Amino acid sequence: MSENTRDGGPVATMEAERKTPEPGKPAKRGLLDRLPYWALWALTAVPIVLSIAEVVRAPKINHADYWVVLGLVADKNGNLDVAQLFHLYHEHPIVLVGLVFWLDAKLFAGTQTPLGFLSVILAAGMFAALWSMLPRTLTGLRRAGVVAGLSGLVFSAGTVEYFGDGMMGVQWLLGLAPAVIAIAFAHHGKLIPAFLFAFMGSLGHGVAFPVWIVLALVLWLRGEGRVKSALPLGLGLVVFVLWRIAPWPPSYQKPNVVGADTYLGAMTSTIGQSWSTKSPDLAFLAGALTVGLFGVLAATAVKQRLATKAENFAGTLDGPAPVAAVAGWFGLAAQVTLNGAMIGVSRGGYNATEGMSSRYVGIGLLGVCAVLVLLVTRGPRALRLKAIPLALVMALCVYAIGNTAAGATRYRYAYQPVLGVAMQVNAGGVMSKMFAYPDFLEQERTMGIYPFTPDFTLGCGAGGPELGTTVDLAKAVELKGPGYGTKDTAGAVDTAPVTGDKQINGWALIGGEQAQCILITDGAGKVVGGGTVGLPRDDISQFMNGTGRSGWQAVAAPEVKDPVVLAYRDGTYHRITTIKDAGKG
């Protein structure tokens, strides 16, 4: 009795799905039959929709590498300096990234939302490429289940930094996405588009560089000839030479005292971080097991590729997929492994846990995608028959684990408006702390990049005060500290003394609600600073009645004299006079 028929259940169900209906009588599925498919397609759509929602809710202002790269590729008047596109930034090419950042500045006032949407599009292209590589032996509900799992991985919670911080997503996905798409084209034997996308990725980010080796592997596993399989290696050598002769930034010795284990740790933590965002040991373990699994599965595939007897899985519904049918997935596994090795070598000099940085999340997630598909196509028979639960459970676990990284990204959302105020009032110290660069400030003003746009606001609402507005301080109501009034109205400044070019923290409750906006004026009442409100302050909820988001942070112009802190709500200015640690009085 064959493996196909000796078991009932899943195999019998799959065989039933393949039965050909009588001529003239097309197969019909009832509502109950369609329901599992609808459920799986809905599960496929949910992570994508959530990623789009993340882009919409994220702040408008960019930060960190956006300002540096834009400053490098644009001159002082904001015009594109084409020659600078071919300089390396942190040893990575920025041709595409620099061009995209410059276009964002020119067309969308330098806001991060378009970059977030572009990141979603790049991730969707990567997802489509992975979908296209699924072997034809994976059919019906099993295929739909694996597709849903891949969606949950590509758009995992861990990727919130790519979508909520579009600058980060564009930087990494302009390298990763074209590389994955190139692998998919090679998987289908389409060399020209494969080479074009590989070259595109090589212009986007150094993370794409290993794809040239990977393409050679994929073509060889497909059974292509030696010349065709070696062609990507020759093109990759050309890319390597161009990278080496490009203008490099200054290079300095790494600070850590390292050993071989340090580099190995950085490598394995990169590959395994999707399974552990807090415990380095678990990330090391997950990464090592992933590489080991790739090695075991690849050894069998290479042995079969070298065998003289051709594979024949015809009619073996639940048998392992032919090597050629999953060549792209072995290629993806190789890409992930080589990316991990690159980061291990380049970042291990800082720390063995460098690979746990959330910017590398795309590499780890692609590794999980490769593990999933190789297990359900080439793994043990028990796993091949349980493709749906395996795919959904793996995606669910990784999605849940990613919430730590997602939470860290969202925590920064509420603070980002402070950077906009700091840029408006020339608070260079605060700008530097918030990963912007004062050296490029005049360039940004000239280009009219947000926050130097007409729609910039302190958030006080229509007709409310803005920078430069003069407030009658005599009409301001005193907002006393805790213990001096009702349990739902109080406030305090937690940062002393209040000075310019400094992140000033505090909290304010007005009738149990947060302030509408926060202002800093000089002694004459002129608004010279502001910031953000609605920051989490659960410590205040321990002794006051009201919202748990009573916190605020503000910044004022460096030259401010006799600063006054005002909480504004419903047309009334509340002067915060208590300057002390929260809850201490």
Q: What CATH number has the domain spanning 458-585?
A: 2.60.40
For 261, counting Cβ atoms within 10 Å of its Cβ (0-12 exposed, 13-18 middle, 19+ buried), the class is exposed
Question: Measured at the alpha carbon of residue 496, what is the angle toward residues 492 and 499, in degrees to the nearest 5?
Answer: 110
Chain position carrying tokens 């409100």: 533
Chain position carrying tokens 């676990």: 397
Instruction: Report pLDDT for 63.
Output: 81
Backbone dihedral angles phi then psi of residue 274, each to the nearest 5 degrees: -65, -20
Instruction: Report pLDDT for 22.
Output: 42
Instruction: Report pLDDT for 154.
Output: 97
Tokens of 74: 């644009």
Could you give the CA distance from residue 89 to residue 567 in angstroms, rounded to a whole number?
42
Among 220, 257, 205, residue whose Cα is nearest residue 101: 205
Q: Are strands 88-89 and 92-93 parallel, antiparallel or unpaired?
A: antiparallel
Query: E-strand spans in 75-137?
Result: 88-89, 92-93
Alpha helix locations (H) across 58-112? 65-73, 95-108
Instruction: Report pLDDT for 309.
Output: 52
* b/e 309-344 (16+ beta carbons within 10 angstroms → b): eebeeeeebbbbbbbbbbbbbbbbbbbbbbbbbbbb
- Concatenated DSSP letters for 24-51? T------HHHHHHHHHHHHHHHHHHHHH
For 234, counting Cβ atoms within 10 Å of its Cβ (0-12 exposed, 13-18 middle, 19+ buried), the class is exposed
Chain position carrying tokens 């690979």: 355
pLDDT tens string for the chain (585 positions)?
A: 333 433 333 333 333 334 434 444 444 566 777 898 999 999 999 999 999 999 999 999 998 889 999 999 999 889 999 999 999 998 899 999 999 999 999 999 999 999 999 999 999 999 999 999 999 988 899 999 999 999 999 999 999 999 999 999 999 999 999 999 999 999 999 999 999 999 999 999 999 999 999 999 999 999 998 999 999 999 999 999 999 998 887 766 777 767 888 889 999 999 999 999 889 999 999 999 999 999 999 999 999 898 855 454 444 556 788 999 999 999 999 999 999 999 999 888 788 888 888 899 999 999 999 999 999 999 899 899 899 999 999 999 999 999 999 999 999 888 999 999 999 999 999 999 998 889 999 999 999 999 999 999 999 998 899 999 999 999 999 999 887 878 899 999 998 899 999 999 999 999 999 999 999 999 999 999 999 999 999 999 889 999 999 999 999 999 999 999 999 999 999 999 988 754 443
Instruction: Report pLDDT for 174.
Output: 97
Is residue 493 within a helix (H) or strand (E), and if so which, with residue range?
A: strand 490-493
Instruction: Report pLDDT for 218.
Output: 97
Can you give the C-alpha Rg of the chain in angstroms? Answer: 28
What share of residues in the chain are helix, strand, coil (percent, to 5)?
Answer: 55, 10, 35
Backbone dihedral angles phi then psi of residue 277, each to the nearest 5 degrees: -100, -5
95-108 vs 65-73: helix crossing angle, rounded to 10: 90
Could you give the CA distance from residue 88 to residue 227 in angstroms, rounded to a whole number?
32
Alpha helix locations (H) across 379-531? 381-385, 387-401, 403-413, 416-424, 428-433, 441-447
Tokens of 20: 């050909």
What are the residue boundaries of the structural domains of the chain, listed by start? 32-59+112-307+320-412, 458-585
Helices (H) and strands (E) in the chain, counts: 22, 11
Instruction: Report pLDDT for 355.
Output: 87
